[in-house]
Amino acid sequence: MATKQSRSAARMMMAPAVTLLLGWMLVPLIMTLYFSFRDYRPLSGGDRGWVGFDNYMRFVTSSAFWPSVQTTLVIVGGVLVITVCLGILLAILLDQPMWGQGVVRILVIAPFFVMPTVSALVWKNMFMDPTNGLLAHLWRFFGAEPVQWLSQASLPSLIMIVSWQWLPFATLILLTAIQSLDSEQLEAAEMDGAPSLKRFWYIILPHLSRAITIVVLIQTIFLLGLFAEIFVTTGGAFGTKTLSYLIFQRVLESQNIGLGSAGGVYAIILANIVAIFLMRIVGKNLDA
């Protein structure tokens, strides 16, 4: 049992690390807040002083703001639905005894190790290019006009690329969960004559609920900041400008640090709203 002295010694020893970590998190946050109240444009006059809530008003009333929030939510929602549904399917398949199971599992997980920029470039140039892409050749082989993926089906294309990257993560978590399922329970249900669909619905799916919650939470956090894939494929055109991309444009293209920082604060608020909403709806599974 820890004594009073040993507890305070532990606190003393942890203090530097804790301070460093807090600073690490707080300094950028405070700087973002600070700049969001200033008219700071490095290319034209630098820091031109305090402007109150002007940047916040301008950012939220700009014509690009609400469409960017909507695009962000559509992409996050689309990727979550695809990765969770296909993830469950793949996890069940990979759990079945099969020849070369280890190799198949590695292949399924492989996309997760590819850098986002690289995978976006591969999809853009090798698959989705309407002249030289593999899909264009496939479409032509069947006598159809190739699809101009990134310009005419931009959001579905992006969702497809990002889902491909995140599916292995979902599959891995869900596979681990399935493997922890008590096989006797399934066998008993089978002996009682429960069809496979009902076994899935009443036994497997409830068992997976915690894993699904983790997948949804973690993926949501990462997907809200989605950037590289948009930068590489569409450059924010064709209705693919997410909130994080809009902030990037305001800070780097327009060189308006104040406006971009205000956008950053909105992004933090949006991320928290989504996180709280998710925790309330699905997070209760974690308590079980």
Binding site for other proteins (CB under 8 A): 41-44, 58, 62-64, 129-131, 136, 146, 148-152, 154, 234-239, 241, 249-250, 252-256
Kindly report the backbone phi and psi dihedral angles of residue 141, in degrees, each rounded to the nearest multiple of 5, phi listed first.
Answer: -60, -35
CA distances from 110 to 15, 84, 219, 243 (A): 40, 17, 17, 29
Q: How far is the CB of 274 from other proteins (least distance, A)?
A: 26
Q: Which residue's CB is nearer to other proteins, number 249 or number 261?
A: 249
Q: Which is nearer to other proteins, 129 or 229 (CB)?
A: 129
- Helices (H) and strands (E) counted in the chain, each on its own, are 14, 2
Phi, psi of 46 (to 5 degrees): 70, -140
Query: Looking at this protein, which amino acid is placed at residue 190?
Result: E
Residue closer to other proteins, measured from CB, 169 or 248: 248
CA distance 192 to 203: 13
Q: Give the shortest CB-288-to-other proteins separation in angstroms.
A: 45
**Closest to other proteins by CB, 148 or 209:** 148
Identity of the residue, 152 or 185, whose beta carbon is nearer to other proteins in the bound complex: 152
Q: Which is nearer to other proteins, 147 or 181 (CB)?
A: 147
Q: Measured from the CB of residue 241, what is the shortest distance to other proteins in angstroms?
A: 7
Minimum CB–partner distance for residue 155 and other proteins (Å) = 10
Whole-angstrom Cα distance, residue 166 to residue 161? 9
* Element at 49 (helix H, strand E): strand 46-50
What does the block give as tokens for 33?
Answer: 């807040």
Task: State the nearest-atom distance from the C-beta of 25 to other proteins, in Å.
Answer: 21
Could you tell me the CA-to-CA distances from 288 to 78, 210, 215, 274 in Å, in that order?
27, 8, 16, 22
Shortest spacing between CB 77 and other proteins, in angstroms: 20
Residue with tokens 């596979």: 175
For residue 286 the two structure tokens come to 């974690």
Distances, alpha carbon 252 to alpha carbons 24, 160, 165, 193, in Å? 23, 27, 27, 62
The distance of closest approach from Cβ of residue 250 to other proteins in the complex, given in angstroms and rounded to an integer, is 7
* CB closer to other proteins, 237 vs 273: 237
- Quote the CA–CA distance of 97 and 114 in Å, as a whole number: 27
